[in-house]
């Protein structure tokens, strides 16, 4: 969405939310070619304490291609991830690396014939138990089209590179005067002046009345565990997308397994609709969901069995930020000049944060986003729907 550029670009930009989206927005504001602007970032707890620190960090060039608007965002982001990794030494700073990506159907009960066929497949990594595959694995992505980062390290690295002043405190409300943003009230600190404010608070954006009035953003709780295998050096860079039915008639599960260059292996899945708590630090995993992830990990590889020496590094949960139409919301809030929002990236926030941040920086500083067309993501798209529902 294009906005008419202000006479001069805003100088005081405040970003609320220290997840990957807030951090990338800070980075692209401060590295903007014509008007580099180092923002202030207000974070309630600590940078990357929520989904951005607990995600998988998987990146794909073309997995969003079925949705044209998202495809443009994802492709631009994938390219920016490569560029950022070259600029910020992403390989050692935050574990950026290309990965092979496989689809594996984990059988309900081990089937020796299927295991023999899987074992014969040249695609099956040596650390994956052939009995974990009901059929030979299928290739979903190559090292040209899929990659990964450690999401928490990535978020902190881009935030540090932005030079943003980080204020730890809770943003309570946006101050608006004469239809223009004037600042943000931070609990216990009072008003922080601003010419532009970015709300990157998913799924907590809905706590702001001005957001709630325009669109809904909800959270879907998802679980993950991080394990340190017995022999980390034997775990190859293969991301695994599993399908698994724990018992006949049970719901199909689709857990994901990401070995990391740190030697750790991250496994996620097990979603649940649940109210998002106020404090991101109080989010904990459900014991049943965590137990199921351990069971799946042990089925995939003996290297990931606790009883065979795998060390448990983390058992955690966080929320996927979801919107009513499944698309992120990126753009200026209708009726409030200078107030921008970036939220609802669902399961692709780590991938899509760089182009989101770059586009927002252009929108704020140039009045127009060039890297991606933001029209499909505009918050204004929800106005009609809300008024039809009489909300
Ligand atoms: C299990 C799981 C696995 C995932 N795996 C992947 C993956 O492999 N690849 C991928 O691309 N995406 C993945 N995602 C999605 C990705 O994690 C999210 O889309 C992304 O992290 C959202 O980032 P964000 O910056 O928008 O929000 P968040 O990371 O949630 O950050 C919001 C921040 O706002 C802060 N905050 C909240 N309220 C306030 C306030 N009032 N004032 C100040 N600060 C406040 C919070 O403390 C938090 O730090 C995964 C998500 C989950 C749940």
Portion of the chain with pLDDT greater than 70, in percent = 96
> Alpha-carbon distance 57 to 260, whole Å?
9
Kindly report, residue by residue over 46-76, the tens digit of the pLDDT.
Answer: 999 999 999 999 999 999 999 999 999 999 9
- Cα 65 to Cα 74, 118, 144, 189: the distances in Å are 8, 30, 16, 44
Cross-strand bridge partners of residue 227: 265, 312
Whether residue 354 contacts residue 87, with contact meaning beta carbons closer than 8 Å, is answered with: no
User: Ligand 1 in contact with 239 (CB < 6 A)?
Assistant: no
User: Can you give the residue ranges of every domain in the chain?
Assistant: 13-91+149-216+325-388, 100-142+219-323
Give the Å distance between the CA of 308 and the centre of ligand 1: 33
Give the Å distance between the CA of 278 and the centre of ligand 1: 14
Kindly report, residue by residue over 236-256, the tens digit of the pLDDT.
Answer: 999 999 999 999 999 999 999
114 Cβ contact partners less than 8 Å away, ≥ 6 residues apart: 107, 133, 134, 135
If you average pLDDT over residues 206-213, what whole number do you get?
88
Portion of the chain with pLDDT greater than 90, in percent = 80
CATH class, domain 100-142+219-323, is alpha beta
> Over 80: is that where the pLDDT of 1 sits?
no
If you average pLDDT over residues 257-274, what whole number do you get?
93
- Cα 234 to Cα 48, 265, 301: the distances in Å are 29, 12, 11
**ipTM, 2 decimals?**
0.99
Q: What is the pLDDT of residue 315?
A: 97
The number of C-alpha atoms within 13 Å of 96 and in the hemisphere containing its C-beta is 22
Which atom of ligand 1 lies nearest, measured to the CA of 22?
25
Give the Å distance between the CA of 117 and the centre of ligand 1: 40
User: Ligand 1 in contact with 64 (CB < 6 A)?
Assistant: no
Average pLDDT in the chain: 93
- Cα 367 to Cα 25, 332, 338, 360: the distances in Å are 15, 10, 10, 9
At residue 22 the predicted structure's pLDDT band, cuts being 50, 70 and 90, is very high
> Over 50: is that where the pLDDT of 391 sits?
no
Torsion sign, CA atoms 304, 308, 310, 315: positive
Kindly report, residue by residue over 318-342, the tens digit of the pLDDT.
Answer: 998 889 999 999 999 999 999 999 9
> Over 60: is that where the pLDDT of 6 sits?
no
* Protein residue whose Cα sits closest to atom 28 of ligand 1: 19
Kindly report, residue by residue over 84-131, the tens digit of the pLDDT.
Answer: 999 999 999 999 999 999 999 999 988 888 888 888 889 999 999 998
Kindly report, residue by residue over 132-174, the tens digit of the pLDDT.
Answer: 888 889 999 999 999 999 999 999 999 999 999 999 999 999 9
- CATH number for the segment(s) 13-91+149-216+325-388: 3.50.50.60
User: Ligand 1 in contact with 201 (CB < 6 A)?
Assistant: yes
Place of tokens 């309900």: 108
> Over 70: is that where the pLDDT of 388 sits?
no
Kindly report, residue by residue over 218-238, the tens digit of the pLDDT.
Answer: 889 999 999 999 999 999 999
Burial (CB count <10 Å: 0-12, 13-18, 19+), residue 8:
exposed
């Amino acid at each position: 969405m294009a906005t008419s550029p202000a006479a001069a670009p805003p100088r005081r930009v405040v970003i609320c939310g220290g997840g990957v989206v807030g951090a990338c927005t800070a980075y692209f504001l401060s590295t903007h070619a014509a008007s580099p602007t180092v923002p202030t970032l207000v974070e309630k707890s600590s940078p990357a304490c929520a989904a951005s620190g607990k995600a998988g960090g998987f990146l794909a060039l073309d997995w969003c291609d079925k949705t044209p608007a998202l495809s443009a965002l994802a492709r631009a982001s994938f390219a920016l991830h490569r560029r950022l990794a070259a600029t910020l030494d992403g390989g050692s700073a935050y574990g950026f690396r290309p990965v092979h990506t496989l689809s594996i159907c984990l059988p309900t009960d081990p089937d020796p014939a299927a295991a023999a066929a899987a074992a014969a497949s040249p695609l099956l990594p040596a650390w994956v138990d052939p009995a974990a595959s009901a059929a030979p694995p299928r290739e979903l992505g190559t090292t040209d089209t899929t990659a990964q980062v450690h999401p928490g390290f990535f978020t902190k690295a881009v935030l540090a590179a932005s030079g943003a002043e980080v204020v730890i405190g809770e943003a309570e409300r946006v101050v608006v005067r004469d239809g223009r943003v004037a600042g943000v009230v931070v609990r216990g600190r009072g008003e922080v002046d601003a010419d532009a404010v970015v709300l990157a608070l998913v799924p907590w954006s809905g706590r702001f009345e001005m957001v709630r009035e325009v669109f809904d953003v909800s959270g879907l709780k998802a679980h993950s565990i991080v394990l340190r295998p017995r022999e980390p050096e034997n775990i190859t860079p293969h991301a695994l997308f599993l399908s698994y039915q724990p018992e006949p008639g049970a719901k199909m599960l689709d857990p994901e397994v990401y070995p990391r260059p740190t030697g750790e292996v991250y496994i996620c899945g097990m979603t649940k609709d649940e109210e998002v708590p106020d404090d991101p630090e109080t989010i904990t995993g459900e014991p049943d969901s965590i137990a199921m992830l351990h069971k799946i990990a042990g089925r995939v590889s003996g290297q990931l069995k606790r009883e065979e020496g795998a060390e448990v590094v983390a058992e955690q949960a966080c929320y996927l930020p979801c919107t009513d139409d499944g698309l992120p919301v990126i753009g200026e809030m209708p009726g409030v000049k200078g107030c921008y929002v970036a939220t609802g990236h669902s399961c692709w926030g780590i991938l899509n944060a760089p182009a989101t941040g770059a586009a927002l920086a252009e929108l704020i500083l140039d009045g127009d986003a060039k890297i991606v067309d933001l029209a499909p993501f505009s918050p204004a798209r929800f106005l009609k729907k809300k008024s039809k529902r009489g909300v």
